[in-house]
Amino acid sequence: MEFPCTKCGKCCSNVKLSPITSYLDRGDGTCEYFDDNTKHCKIYDNRPEICRIELQFNKYYKERFSWNEFIAINLDVCEKLPEK
């Protein structure tokens, strides 16, 4: 099962909220690689590791959570992010 991303852009529009992603901030809290018009990543195939949910799970979290638990945690965070 893949991560059920809705491509809403909330995670890309709030990179300033985390020290792990703040280096991607283009100055307004949004990722420098986020296309405001299409709501897609301009470098999707080469996006940073932190933006790859499956990779993050396999590399850092699979010993602590099941995949379904990890999805639920991430979706909960997604829903709490502010819209721009």
On whether residue 53 sits in a domain, the answer given is: yes
Q: What is the mean pLDDT of the chain?
A: 95
* Domain that residue 40 falls in: 12-80
On whether residue 6 sits in a domain, the answer given is: no
Domain tally, the chain = 1
The set of residues, in sequence order, having a beta carbon less than 8 Å from that of 14 and lying 6+ positions away, is: 29, 30, 81, 82, 84
Beta strands in 1-84 (DSSP E): 34-35, 40-41
When pLDDT is averaged across residues 74-81 and rounded to a whole number, the result is 94
Tens of pLDDT along 7-25? 899 999 999 999 999 999 9
On whether residue 5 sits in a domain, the answer given is: no
CB 14 within 8 A of CB 82: yes
Tens of pLDDT along 37-67? 999 999 999 999 999 999 999 999 999 999 9
